C-alpha cells in the first residue's frame, strides 16, 4: 500500500463516517419527538454533511482520478464505503439515536483533536473547523444521554438497552489495520491505543452520571472501515440516498 493509497483510504473513512451518520440523523427531520429536537438534529446532520464535502473533496484530490465529493458519495456501491459499522445502524427510538451519537461524538472529538496537529495543512484545517462543530455535538448528545439515563424508569431502561445494543460496535473504532498504521507512521493518523484510553475516560464519566452500566463484553464487530463487511442496513440506506443520481445519471440543478 503506497502512502497516497493509504491517505485516500483514510480520507474516505473520515468522509464516509460523516456522510452515513449525517444521512441517518437527517431521517429524523419531521419525525423527532419535539420541534426543538427536530431542528437540532437537522442542524447536526447539516454539520456532518458539510464535513463530508470537505473530507471527500480532499479524497478526490488525493486520488487524482477526477472524482468529486458528489461522485464519491453518490456513485459508489456498498462494498466501496469505508464507514464504521456503528454509524450505519438504524435510528431505532430517540434514545438509541442519541446513544449512537454520543458514542461516535466521544470518538470523533478525540480523533479530530489529534488531526488538528497533522503535518498536512489541508487535513489540519478541515479537522480544526469540524472540531468546533463536533464539540457542540458531544456536549448536546452527552447531556441528553445523562438526562435520559438518570431520568424516569422508562427512559433509563431504554438508554441501557441502547447502550447494550450498540456497544459491540465501539471496538472497531480503535482496531488498527494497515491504513491506520501507515497514517500513524506518517504522523497524520492518531495512536488508536492512546485514543481509546481518552475515549474510555470520557465515556465512563458520561455513563456514570447517566447511571448506566457499561457492558463488560470485549467482543467487537468489524469490517465496516475496510469495506470487507457492512451490515444489511447500509445497502437499504444507500438506495434512498443515491436514488436520484442513479435514476438520472449526471443530473445537475
Total domains present in the chain? 1
pLDDT for position 46:
98
Pair 179, 6: CB distance under 8 Å: yes
Query: Does any domain span residue 252?
Result: no
pLDDT of the residue at 1? 59
SS3 212: coil
pLDDT in tens, 34-79: 898 999 999 999 999 999 999 999 999 999 999 999 999 999 999 9
Looking at residue 33, what is its pLDDT? 87
Does the residue 54 lie in any domain?
A: yes
What is the pTM (predicted TM-score) of this model? 0.96
Low-confidence ranges of the chain (pLDDT < 50): none
Distance from the first to the final alpha carbon of the chain: 38
Q: What domain range includes position 17?
A: 3-247
Chain CA centroid to CA 193, Å: 19
In a domain, 253, yes or no: no
CA angle, residues 119, 49, 2, in degrees to nearest 5: 40
Tell me the CATH number at 85.
1.20.1260.10
Cell of 103: 458514542
Residue 226 placed within a domain: yes
Whether 61 is covered by a domain: the verdict is: yes
What pLDDT was estimated at residue 188? 96
Predicted confidence at residue 29, as pLDDT, reads 94
Amino acid at each position: 500500500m503506497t502512502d497516497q493509497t493509504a491517505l485516500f483510504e483514510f480520507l474516505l473513512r473520515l468522509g464516509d463516517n460523516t456522510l452515513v451518520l449525517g444521512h441517518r440523523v437527517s431521517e429524523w427531520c419531521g419525525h423527532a419527538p419535539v420541534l426543538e429536537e427536530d431542528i437540532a438534529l437537522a442542524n447536526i446532520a447539516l454539520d456532518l454533511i458539510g464535513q463530508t464535502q470537505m473530507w471527500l473533496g480532499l479524497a478526490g484530490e488525493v486520488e487524482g482520478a477526477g472524482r468529486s465529493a458528489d461522485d464519491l458519495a453518490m456513485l459508489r456501491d456498498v462494498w466501496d464505503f469505508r464507514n464504521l459499522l456503528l454509524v450505519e445502524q438504524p435510528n431505532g427510538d430517540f434514545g438509541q439515536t442519541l446513544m449512537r451519537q454520543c458514542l461516535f461524538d466521544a470518538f470523533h472529538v478525540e480523533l479530530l483533536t489529534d488531526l488538528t496537529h497533522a503535518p498536512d495543512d489541508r487535513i489540519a484545517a478541515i479537522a480544526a473547523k469540524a472540531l468546533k462543530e463536533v464539540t457542540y455535538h458531544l456536549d448536546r448528545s452527552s447531556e441528553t444521554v445523562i438526562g435520559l439515563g438518570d431520568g424516569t424508569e422508562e427512559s433509563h431502561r431504554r438508554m441501557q438497552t441502547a447502550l447494550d445494543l450498540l456497544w459491540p460496535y465501539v471496538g472497531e473504532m480503535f482496531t488498527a489495520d494497515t491504513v491506520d498504521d501507515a497514517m500513524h507512521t506518517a504522523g497524520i493518523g492518531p495512536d488508536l491505543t492512546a485514543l481509546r484510553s481518552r475515549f474510555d475516560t470520557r465515556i465512563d464519566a458520561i455513563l456514570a452520571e447517566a447511571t448506566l452500566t457499561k457492558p463488560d463484553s470485549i467482543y467487537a464487530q468489524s469490517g465496516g472501515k475496510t469495506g470487507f463487511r457492512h451490515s444489511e442496513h447500509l445497502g437499504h440506506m444507500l438506495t434512498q440516498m443515491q436514488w436520484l443520481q442513479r435514476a438520472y445519471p449526471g443530473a445537475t440543478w
